[in-house]
Amino acid sequence: MVGAALLVRVEAKRGKETAVADFLESALSLVQEEPDTTAWFALRFGPATFGIFDAFPDDAGRQAHLAGKVAQALMARADELFVAHPTITKVDVLASTLPG
């Protein structure tokens, strides 16, 4: 069951689109170490617009993720890769279906 989620959007700097895609793909291994991250998706909305959607059982799981390695790496590289700092929106999950 999931009840909390995050939607993160970032805009890559010109010429950094591939670096952003690579960074997001590489983050998967870090997320897999987080027991309360129920679902995690790295997204590409357009040529330079990317995002992350992740879901958690509750707000404690969401807060743990926000204090985790992926969030730290994202913020550490923000000035290098993104036009502006990531837009992070906390959302409540009203209904979901997940395998298993």
Taking only the tens place, the pLDDT of each residue in 61-93 is 999 999 999 999 999 999 999 999 999 999 999
Which pTM does this prediction carry?
0.93
Residue 2's CB is within 10 A of a number of other CB atoms, namely 21
The packing angle between helices 69-76 and 59-66, to 10°, is 40
Q: What's the DSSP call for residue 13?
A: P
pLDDT tens-digit readout, 19-78: 999 999 999 999 999 999 999 999 999 999 999 999 999 999 999 999 999 999 999 999
Taking the alpha carbons of 24, 26, 28, 32 in that order, is the dihedral positive or negative? negative
